[in-house]
Amino acid sequence: MRKAKRGAIGGLLAAVLAAGSMAAGPAAAASMAGPQARAAAKLCSPWAMADRVDRTGKMYGAGGVTCKAQVTGVLNVELHRNGKLARRATAKCTYQKTCVGHTKTITDSSGTQEWCARISFTDLWTNDPYVKWGCVTT
């Protein structure tokens, strides 16, 4: 039963792609299929956040990736204050579906500050890069 459904979905996808290639031409269909195929092939979903430690005046950056299968790679987490690097941390992940990391805390200055966490992760098996930003204003 599952094989029949997969075949039907695959046939429908082929029909949609063929219709798109007839309407927009072969070059347009190829250019549309490329990003869609790359997006579907992404194994991991990245996340990042800058946050305040409860009841303190300290900030930290955190983030990671959640993957559909086990991955091996290095996660870099950066905390930026008003566009300048304030803290950095690295986490090594081997054969895991989830890889997370965080920076050390830093004291929040008085006045309005923009804090941004940036993560970067490269899956060493597929060489897929992942980058994500998360910002907050205090």
Q: Write the single-letter amino acid at 85.
A: L
pTM: 0.67
Distance, in Å, from the CA atom of 133 to the CA atom of 112, rounded to the nearest integer, reads: 19
Q: How many CB atoms lie within 10 A of CB 50?
A: 26
pLDDT in tens, 24-35: 444 433 343 444
Write out the two tokens for 116. Answer: 């941004």
Distance, in Å, from the CA atom of 32 to the CA atom of 28, rounded to the nearest integer, reads: 6
| Domain extents in the chain | 2-41, 44-137
pLDDT in tens, 67-96: 999 999 999 999 999 999 999 999 999 999
- To the question of domain 44-137 being in CATH 2.60.40.1940, the answer is yes
- C-alpha 41, offset from chain centre: 13
